[in-house]
A and B are shown apart, each in its own frame.
Chain A
Amino acid sequence: MALEVIEVSGFATIQDSGRTGWRRFGVPASGPMDAFAFRAANALAGNTPDEAVIEIGLGDVTFRALHDCIVAVAGVGYALSIYIWDFPLWSSYYVRAGWTIRLNKLDSCMWAYLAISGGVQTQPMLGSRSTYLRGHFGGRDGRQLQVDDVLKSGNPSRSLNELAARTLPAEALPAYSDNPTVDVIMGPQEKYFINESIATFMSQEYTVSNTSDRMGYRLDGAALRHRGKAELISEGITMGAIQIPSNGQPIVMMADCPTTGGYPKIGTVASADLPLFAQCVPNKSKIRFRETTVAKAQNKYRALMDGLDKIVESD
């Protein structure tokens, strides 16, 4: 089975669960910006959690199915139409050969994930199909999708009829919002900042700057002040880590972030809230941060991911 890209004004890349095992050599993990929507799209399509899907942001994309197949679309900020019908996201659909699948960008939120039953099959690089744009490898030739790209898929896990019309109920979704409150685990370098700045970070609104990308989201808002120097000896970093360079404007590391960094980190966004944060719209969404603990954050993440078991199969 296969999908052909017939129109693309947005930013679409192939992503699987990420390129792990190579970060010690300096290779970023990549993978989805919104890991929950990514996992949901795969689960709805009957795929294993790590299969490659199409991540779509910033604009519209239209595909044509070259064979009968099942697609599932999850995420926020997009409207979906298949053939002549409009359909909600967070569901799987039976698509006939020749039908189009359109994803149109709405004003709110950022990213949607289109999974095809059997997963998108491209040549894995370093064990992963995730696209790493700056490294020019992974996914489709290390680049964004273009018109005329044909994306082949593997074998579905079950018959197409069994995989169609599956839905993840709204109560299983994270609290997506234009103005989210995002949990943060403090440290390891919160002592690098004056107390007033910690209080500022936890009480003021921030917006995502429009110079943000898959590597990092820069935040606009009250600048934070370091007690002393704004540099440390480089050390490993991770998605969600909030680095504060000398200008005091936070940068939150995202999916394509480097493996190491040399700015002090005031804290790290909790895994359960990374999807909410990733879906924030530059210059629009107003974000507030709230302190949490590792134990609470891990419980919240487990509960969120357990929600993927709530998929409803229609008769």
Chain B
Amino acid sequence: MKPRIVPLGDSSVLVQFGDEIDLTINQCVHALANLIANSLFNGVIETVPAYTTLLVHYDPLMLSFTQLKDHLRAQIPQIEEIRSQKPRLVEVPVIYGGELGPDLEFVASHCDLRVEDVIRIHSEKIYTVYMMGFTPGFPYMGKLDDAIIMPRLETPRTRVPAGTVAIACSQTGIYSIESPGGWQLIGWTPLKLFDPASESPFLFSPGDEVKFIVEK
């Protein structure tokens, strides 16, 4: 897979691997992110993996666009080998429904399923953290089983508690801090996704695999 490398301004470049949400494309993104992190190339500040792209932030006082582009091109042949490495699996206990999963019954009726089926379908799959964003530590995970694909809320809630497990379109996510939110809320995890004062501030990293464990 030969990516396109295009500038985003004069201090970042975007590496584009494709134009659809797809696991193989996303694995290439994380593989290149790992290669860059391990290459310690002077002037590269950090990278931001997303569904189909990797954004590379750099210091234009240390590195020109062409120098960085050449360095990125040199990494590409190794992507395939890195991509096939097994990612880390994070298990997430979830209490489905109730006060902290107020949309679970609506999701079931909308999908013409029983509540237990929604819980089973949502928890039996292993998801991939395609990217992180929205708020610090929020994982965008996919893909949901087609049976429980839901639209976003028409009117987003102004306050969703941290730890709330939610779904929208073909994705599932977990609110990492209390924030507004427009996804359907189906459960809650006691795990802390973001703690800025901690030595390891984030529960997830981009590229992780995630399995939800049903808590009674």
Contacts and interface: CB of A to CB of B under 8 A. Distances in A.
B11 interface: yes
A26 B60 contact: no
B21 A26 contact: no
A151 to B, nearest CB: 20
B10 A271 contact: yes
Interface stretch (B76-84, B98-106, B154-162, B201-209): B201-209
Contacts of A22: 46, 136, 201
Contact of B65 (A25, A137, A233, A294): A294
A237 B49 CA distance: 11
B6 A298 contact: no
Contacts of B201: 22, 25, 126
Contacts of A237: 8, 55
A270 interface: yes
B211 interface: no
A259 B133 contact: yes
A24 B10 contact: no
A236 B9 contact: no
Interface in A233-248: 233-238, 240-241
Given A20-B45, A25-B132, A125 B197 contact: yes
A133 interface: no
A98 interface: no
A23 B57 contact: yes
Nearest to B48: A236
A295 B64 contact: yes
Given A135-B136, A233-B51, A301 B10 contact: yes
B136 A26 contact: yes
Contacts of B33: 24
Contacts of B41: none
A234 B12 contact: no
Task: Pick the 3 closest A-B CB pairs, nearest first.
Answer: A236-B55, A268-B9, A236-B48
A241 B6 CA distance: 14
A120 interface: no
B63 to A, nearest CB: 9
A26 B132 contact: yes
Contact of A305 (B6, B12, B51, B61): B61
Contacts of B54: 236
B8 A233 contact: no
Nearest to B18: A233
Contact of A25 (B53, B136, B177): B136
A256 to B, nearest CB: 12
B134 A265 contact: no
A188 B6 contact: yes
Contacts of A26: 132-138, 176
B164 interface: no
Contact of A188 (B8, B60, B64, B206): B8
